[in-house]
Amino acid sequence: MPSLLFSFLLEINSYPLLKVMYVFVTLLGILLVCTLAFTIYKRKIDSNKKLWEPDAALLISTAIFYNANDTEYKDAILKNEKLLQKAVFRQYLINEIIIARKDISGSSTLNLKNFYEQLKLNQDSFKKLHNRKWHIKTKGIQELAIMEQNNYQKEIFELANYSNEYVRNEAQCSLVNFYGFQGLEFLNDITYPISEWQQIQLLNKLNSVKPQNFEIIKKWLHSKNEFVVIFALKLAVFYNHYELYDDVVNCLSYKNLQIKLNAVNYLKLNPRENTAALFITDYSFDNKIYKLAILDALKDIGNETEITFLLKQLHNADNDIKIAAAKGLACLHPLGITFFHTHLFADENPWKSIFLQIENDRAA
Amino acid sequence: MTILVAEDEIIMLKTIELRLKKDGHNVIICQDGREAVKKIEELSPDLVITDMMMPFLSGLEIIGAVKRQVRKKIPIIVLSAMGQENIVLEAFQLGADDYITKPFSPNELSMRVKRYSPQMLNAQL
């Protein structure tokens, strides 16, 4: 039999098609074996989890109601002493503690935190921060943040400027969770971009209590990282802080569209006497979205002084600019929308359609 | 008091069970809606605490099943992560007596349960 197989294998060399089939079948066999091995491994983990469920439930539920005289908790720990030395069980326990932590509030959360620390599960979470895989690093940060492990702040702070975006985002959110506004200190050193979504997440985590010191936002408004400048502008709007006006005006000089738009947004909400004039001066920036933002802002903060400028825009080649200018005139012109009927081109398109649309919108 | 607790998350179930047992109550636990309704019909507990999202039958269906049985008026406390106004209102309209959103304090739950003890209910009458 072996000699037959050997001679068969020798023959394969002389038939290219057979060779390909042989390789294909071998690869398929390896794939099947790997799939089978992985399935068996997963099933083993799942069956372990089923076995561990009552033990984990007992440990966590007794920990939640721990008091010094409670023997139930000590008995539960003793009963599971061997299991608590297994890394896989410890990770399973951490996962269940995190789920429980999200569901409970009040003094029980402190008991759960003490339980987590007493079993040194925080060290298991901390070890993950040094893992090469980004998803494990992120999990470690999440676990430490949810379990309020403030003493690992330094290590998490370093990860706020990590190369992987998910790790960075998780670290940044954790710092803000721990320390509120003070947790944003990572903005001093960050060199990577901060996505729009991440900025929203960070703003959502900041409570409405104002920081005592706005000097740090001024510093961020002058950051070399343009994403930090954008976020600082959003903070300026978020806290509605009037004293940042001059620094925000300075942001109009950037070429970055998002910075300019966010600066216009702040100035629109915190206008001074010269704000409209500033907008008109900066109107020459060659971007339609920016021009529309300025025209929209002038509608809210402008006065009769801006009418001449708006009348000029009514003759811009772009109809969207015409519409925005017309809306501004409807608000600022002493005649209001009746001004449209006096306009030189009131009966010509596109002005006729534009004026009619604005009148209808106003009536609605 | 005999209290039936319906919750599919085993750790929450054990936590609530332990809290109520510490208060001296007799606790019946269920991990799915179908089992909960069956045990309510068989054992007629004094109070039901139920989650909203469970296998087979939801918390709302359990409330409906409890209110349909005329043998005994059983107060129901809903304990759920779903805190949207429309769901809370629907639970109350179906007959829930209390609604606690997660995250919740087990100690607070204990105090709320005490309000439904026979002594407290008799005192109110």
pLDDT digit string, tens, across residues B85-114: 988 999 999 889 999 999 999 999 999 999
Say whether the peptide bond before residue B75 is cis (omega within 30 degrees of 0). no
Helix H or strand E encompassing A93: helix A87-103
For the record, the structure tokens of A226 come out as 């343009």
- Residue whose token pair is 């996505």: A195
Burial of A239 (0-12, 13-18, 19+ CB in 10 A): middle
Interface of A with B in 71-110 (CB under 8 A): 96, 99-100, 102-108
pLDDT band at residue A352 under the 50/70/90 scheme: confident
A69 touching chain B per CB within 8 A: no
Report which of A127, A185, A187, A189 is spatially closest to residue A155, judged by C-alpha positions.
A127
Cα dist. A51→A46, A80, B8 in Å?
A: 9, 12, 17
Query: Which pLDDT belongs to residue A217?
Result: 94
Query: Which pLDDT belongs to residue A356?
Result: 85
Does B120 score more than 80 pLDDT? no
pLDDT above 90 covers a percentage of chain B that reads 60
Phi-psi category of residue B44: left, alpha or beta, with phi > 0 → left and psi -120 to 50 → alpha: left
What pTM value is reported for the model? 0.80
CA angle A262–A308–A314, rounded 5-degree value? 75
Question: Helices in chain B by DSSP H: which ranges?
Answer: 10-22, 33-43, 59-68, 85-94, 106-114, 118-124
**R_g over Cα of chain A:** 32
Does B63 score more than 80 pLDDT? yes
DSSP A57-86: HHHHHHHHT--TT-HHHHHHHHHTTTGGG-
pLDDT band at residue A335 under the 50/70/90 scheme: confident
Average pLDDT over residues A273-300: 95
Query: Which pLDDT belongs to residue B101?
Result: 93
Q: Which of A56, A105, A108 sits opposite B11 (nearest CB)?
A: A56
Report which of A160, A167, A99 is spatially closest to residue A139, judged by C-alpha positions.
A167
Query: Which pLDDT belongs to residue A152?
Result: 93
B5-58 pLDDT, tens digit each: 999 999 999 999 999 999 999 999 999 999 999 999 899 899 999 999 888 988
For the record, the structure tokens of A136 come out as 């494990």
Cβ B41 vs Cβ B87: under 8 Å: no
Average pLDDT over residues A103-122: 93
A145-201 pLDDT, tens digit each: 999 999 999 999 999 999 999 999 999 999 998 888 999 999 999 999 999 999 999
A69-91 pLDDT, tens digit each: 777 788 888 888 888 899 999 99
Q: How many CB pairs under 8 A join A and B?
A: 57
pLDDT above 90 covers a percentage of chain A that reads 68
Query: What span, in angstroms and rounded, lies between the C-alpha atoms of A314 and A327?
Result: 10
Alpha carbon of B83: minimum distance to chain A alpha carbons (Å): 13
**Hey, CA dihedral for B92, B94, B98, B101, is it positive or negative?**
negative
Cα dist. B39→A198, B26, B95 in Å?
A: 48, 14, 19
Residue B117 φ then ψ, to 5° = -65, 150
Query: Which pLDDT belongs to residue B73?
Result: 84
Does A1 score more than 70 pLDDT? no
SS3 assignment, position A275: helix
Query: What span, in angstroms and rounded, lies between the C-alpha atoms of A260 and A257?
Result: 5
Query: Which pLDDT belongs to residue A341?
Result: 80
Contact yes or no for B10 and A62 at CB 8 A = no
Choose from B10, B13, B14 for mutation: most chain A CBs within 10 A: B14
List the single residue in A with minimal CA-CA distance to B18.
A61
- Report long-range pairs for A127-134 (Cβ below 8 Å, ≥24 apart): A129/A155, A129/A156, A129/A159, A134/A164, A134/A166, A134/A167
pLDDT band at residue A358 under the 50/70/90 scheme: confident
Q: Which of A57, A62, A104 sits opposite B104 (nearest CB)?
A: A104
A61 touching chain B per CB within 8 A: yes
Query: Which pLDDT belongs to residue A210?
Result: 73
Query: Which pLDDT belongs to residue A354?
Result: 87
ipTM over 0.90: no
Cβ B59 vs Cβ B90: under 8 Å: no
A229-267 pLDDT, tens digit each: 999 999 999 998 889 999 999 999 999 999 999 999 999
* Least confident span in A18-22, A209-213, A333-337: A209-213
Average pLDDT across chain B, whole number: 89
Does B69 score more than 80 pLDDT? no
CA angle A311–A316–A317, rounded 5-degree value? 160
Query: What span, in angstroms and rounded, lies between the C-alpha atoms of A340 and A333?
Result: 10
Does A342 score more than 60 pLDDT? yes
CA-based end-to-end distance of chain B: 18
Helix H or strand E encompassing B100: strand B98-101
Query: What span, in angstroms and rounded, lies between the C-alpha atoms of A248 and A253?
Result: 10
Report which of B84, B93, B82, B79 is spatially closest to residue B36, judged by C-alpha positions.
B79
Burial of A6 (0-12, 13-18, 19+ CB in 10 A): exposed
